[in-house]
Every structure is written in C-alpha cells, then in structure tokens.
Amino acid sequence: MDKSIKKPSLLLLALENRAIIELGAGLVSSPFLKQQNSGNGRAVLVIPGFGAGDLTTLLLRRYLNKQGYKAFGWGMGINQGTSAAIKEQLYRRVKQLHLQTGQKVSVIGWSLGGVFARELGRKLEDDVHSVITMGTPFTGNPYGNHLFQLSLILSGKAFTQKDADAFDRRAEPPPVKSIAIHSRCDGVVSWQCSLEKETDHTRNIEVSTSHFGYPFNPNVFRVVAAALEE
C-alpha cells in the first residue's frame, strides 16, 4: 500500500459535475459514432460502479452492440458492494454467456465494478477473454479515493490489516488480457490507483474524462471498443 498516493484534490472533485456535459455528448453523438461490426458476437458483461445500476451503462452497451458485440448489464440492481451471493451470480452469468455464445466473455467494470471484473478474470480464466477497467481503484492506496470511507461507513466494517493484505494481493493482474483505462482528470479516484502492473498481457490507457463520465463519454467508448479488439 503506497501511502504517498492521496485522494484527488477538492477542485477536481468539484469539477465532477462536468459529467452532465459528458452525458449530453454521449446522448447526442451516440447515433453518429462509427460502426465497425468487429465484435463477431462476443458477449461483453458491463458492471456498474458503486451506487450505480445498469441504466448508467446503457449508452456504452448500445454502442458496443452496434460494434457487433452482445453487451449485457449485470442485472443485479444498484451496486452496493460485494457479497458471496453477488460473486456466485456473476460467476454463473459469465459461464452462461460463454456457453450461449461459444466464445470467451469480455468483462468491463466501471469504478468498483472493475474490482469485480478483475476477480472474474482471476477466477474464470477459461471463460474470460479480457478485462477492461474504467477508473477502478484496485492498487496503490485504498484511501486514494473519495468513496472508500463512505463505503466503510455504509458497510459498518473497519478496514483491518487483513483487508490491507487482501488489497495488496488483488493488485496483481488477473491471468487474462487486462486493460486499465484511467484519467488524470478523475475527481473521485486517484489515477495512480487505476494502473495495472505492466506485464505481457496488461496495458494502461489514459483518457480525459471525469470519474462519473466514464460510461457516457464518447471518447471513452472509442477507447473501449479499440481495447476489445486487441
């Protein structure tokens, strides 16, 4: 755990309201974004961030469908954090999609959803083609984002040394292709906390977006589509 990594500044946090502009850009431009039909029917499971549901990833999923993928929401309402039941449902969902399509599944996770996505790639190597995270705080310092302490309050749990050790273990990349999308403009999660360790099957891609704008920003859509093609 790197304690030198701090939360984004309050100025960057205040600028998160620009996500409304990014949402508007996504709504206006989505019908005109280039369609390549390069997905060949591969299933893509998109997991929303903490406190968000499938509605927030709808524009991204529609765009991916136009690229020839079969994009699905996670189908479990608002993401309120992990549990044994949620893990089991996600495992079953990925295996089901693999069976239905006859192809390994790509998993995209925004923010906390990316933590889930990386664990799916770790546990289901034979079913997962690739993992893409967007502004996900999986390394560096768990306190390097503005949502961590709120999640502790809501869960009623303390962050113990055992949790810190588990956090450090999860920083290791999953064994599948893993692409981490991050933004230095992120006002919620410190960008250093969203970087994969460099290996022969990982890559880091920088974009310019707010944290809440990831699933709405047309430029992020293009980066995600290109990452899925790799």
What digits encode the pLDDT tens for the residues 104-162?
Answer: 999 999 999 999 999 999 999 999 999 999 999 999 998 899 988 777 766 667 777 88
Q: For residues 151 and 60, which has the higher predicted lDDT (pLDDT)?
A: 60
Does the pLDDT value for residue 223 go beyond 70?
yes
Residue 3 domain-assigned (yes or no): no
Angle (CA) 105 177 207, round 5°: 100
pLDDT tens-place string over residues 174-210: 999 999 999 999 999 999 999 999 999 999 999 999 9
* Residue 164 Ramachandran class (φ > 0 left, ψ -120 to 50 alpha, else beta): alpha
Q: Please, what is the average pLDDT of the chain?
A: 92
Whether pLDDT at 1 is above 80? no
| Higher per-residue confidence, 168 vs 46 | 46
In-domain check, residue 24: yes
Number of domains in the chain: 1
Please report whether residue 1 resides in a domain: no
Which amino acid is residue 9, in one-letter code?
S
* Mean pLDDT value across residues 39-52: 93
Domain of residue 180: give its range.
10-229
The pLDDT assigned to 58 comes to: 96
pLDDT of residue 154: 66
Residues with Cβ within 8 Å of 130's Cβ and at least 6 positions away in sequence, in order, are 106, 107, 121, 176, 177, 178, 179, 227, 228, 230
Q: Find the farthest-apart pair of alpha carbons in the chain and give their distance in angstroms, rounded.
A: 50
Q: Does the residue 119 lie in any domain?
A: yes
Contact 158, 205 (CB under 8 A): no
Which CATH number goes with the domain that contains 90?
3.40.50.1820
Residue 53 lies in a domain: yes
Q: Write down the pLDDT at residue 122.
A: 96
Tell me what pLDDT residue 205 has: 98
Q: Is 143 or 103 the better-scoring residue by pLDDT? A: 103
> In 3D, which of 134, 120, 106 has the Cα closest to residue 50?
134
The answer to whether residue 15 is domain-embedded is: yes
Q: Is 4 within a domain? A: no
Q: What is the DSSP letter of 17?
A: G
- Read off the pLDDT of each residue in 73-99 and give the average, rounded to a whole number: 94
